[in-house]
Structure 1
Amino acid sequence: MSEPTTPAGWGIELCKFWQQAGQALPVDVKLLAPEATKRFADPIGKIKAHDIAGIDGMLIKRPSKGDWCIAYDPAVESPGRINFTLGHELGHYFLHRRMRDHFQCGQGEMLDYESATSRKLEGEANKFASFLLMPIPDFKVQIANEEISLELLGHCANRYATSFTAKALKWIEFTQEAAVLVVAREGFICWSYPTDSARRLGLYLPHGTELPRVSLDNLAKVMDSRNHTTRVGAGVWHSTLEAQESIILSDRFDMAIFLVRFPFANLVEHEEEAIEDSVSWLSKKIRGW
Structure 2
Amino acid sequence: MSDPTTPVAWGIQLAKLWLATGQGFPVNVKALALEVTKQKFSEPVGIIKPHGIDGIDGMLSKRNKHKDWCISYDENVVVPGRINFTLAHELGHYLLHRTVRDTFQCGQKEMMDYDSLESRRIEAQANTFASYLLMPRNDFDTQIKGQEISFELFGHCAERYQTSLTATILKWLEFTEETAMLVVADHDEFICWSFCSQSAKRLGVYKAPGEVVPASALEYLKTNTSNTRSPRRALAGVWHPTEEAIECVIVSDQFEQLIFLIRFPLAFSPDHEDEPESDAFTVLSEKAQGLNWKK
Class of the TM-score when normalised by the shorter of the 2 chains: over 0.9
Q: What is the DSSP-based 3-state SS (H/G/I as helix, E as strand, rest coil) of the residue aligned with 1:55?
A: coil
C-alpha separation between the residues in 2 aligned to 1:134 and 1:252? 26
Deviation at 1:229, TM superposition (A): 2.0
1:35 corresponds in structure 2 to 35
Q: How does 1:119-198 map to 2 (within 5 A)?
A: 119-186=120-187, 187-198=189-200
Contact 1:247 1:257 in 2 (8 A): yes
| Aligned residues: CA RMSD | 1.9
Structure 1: which 5+ residue stretches go unaligned? none
C-alpha separation between the residues in 1 aligned to 2:48 and 2:199? 41
Larger displacement relative to structure 2 (30-39 or 216-225): 216-225
Question: What is the aligned counterpart of 1:285 among 284, 287, 292?
Answer: 287
Q: How does 1:1-12 map to 2 (within 5 A)?
A: 1-12=1-12
C-alpha separation between the residues in 2 aligned to 1:221 and 1:23? 46
Contact 1:81 1:163 in 2 (8 A): yes
C-alpha separation between the residues in 1 aligned to 2:37 and 2:225? 45
C-alpha separation between the residues in 2 aligned to 1:197 and 1:112? 33
Identical amino acids, percent of aligned pairs: 55
1:23 is aligned to 2:44 = no
1:108 corresponds in structure 2 to 109
C-alpha separation between the residues in 2 aligned to 1:233 and 1:286? 33
Question: What is the aligned counterpart of 2:246 among 244, 254, 259?
Answer: 244
Deviation at 1:279, TM superposition (A): 1.7
Larger displacement relative to structure 2 (112-121 or 202-211): 112-121
1:6-49 CA-partner distances (Å, limit 9, x unpaired): 10000111111111111101101122111111112111111111
1:94-135 CA-partner distances (Å, limit 9, x unpaired): 111112111001123549614221111111101110100010
Q: Following superposition, which runs of at least 4 residues in structure 1 exceed 6 angstroms of deviation?
A: none
Cα distance change of structure 1 residues 93 and 240 upon mapping to structure 2, 3 Å threshold: same
Pairs aligned (count): 288
Q: What is the DSSP-based 3-state SS (H/G/I as helix, E as strand, rest coil) of the residue aligned with 1:260?
A: strand
Deviation at 1:226, TM superposition (A): 6.7
Structure 2: which 5+ residue stretches go unaligned? none
Q: How does 1:207-246 map to 2 (within 5 A)?
A: 207-220=209-222, 223-225=225-227, 227-246=229-248
C-alpha separation between the residues in 2 aligned to 1:114 and 1:254? 26
1:165-190 CA-partner distances (Å, limit 9, x unpaired): 00100110111111110011121111
C-alpha separation between the residues in 2 aligned to 1:183 and 1:97? 33
Deviation at 1:217, TM superposition (A): 2.4
1:48 corresponds in structure 2 to 49
Contact 1:218 1:228 in 2 (8 A): no
Q: Higher helix share goes to which structure?
A: 1
2:60 maps to a residue whose letter is L
Q: What is the DSSP-based 3-state SS (H/G/I as helix, E as strand, rest coil) of the residue aligned with 2:27?
A: coil
1:271 is aligned to 2:272 = yes
C-alpha separation between the residues in 2 aligned to 1:26 and 1:200? 34
Q: What is the DSSP-based 3-state SS (H/G/I as helix, E as strand, rest coil) of the residue aligned with 2:57?
A: strand
Contact 2:55 2:110 in 1 (8 A): no
Contact 2:179 2:197 in 1 (8 A): yes
Deviation at 1:137, TM superposition (A): 0.7
1:74 maps to a residue whose letter is E
When the two structures are superposed, what TM-score results if normalisation uses the length of structure 1?
Answer: 0.93
Q: What is the DSSP-based 3-state SS (H/G/I as helix, E as strand, rest coil) of the residue aligned with 1:181?
A: strand
1:260 maps to a residue whose letter is I
When the two structures are superposed, what TM-score results if normalisation uses the length of structure 2?
Answer: 0.92
C-alpha separation between the residues in 1 aligned to 2:254 and 2:129? 24
Contact 1:222 1:228 in 2 (8 A): no
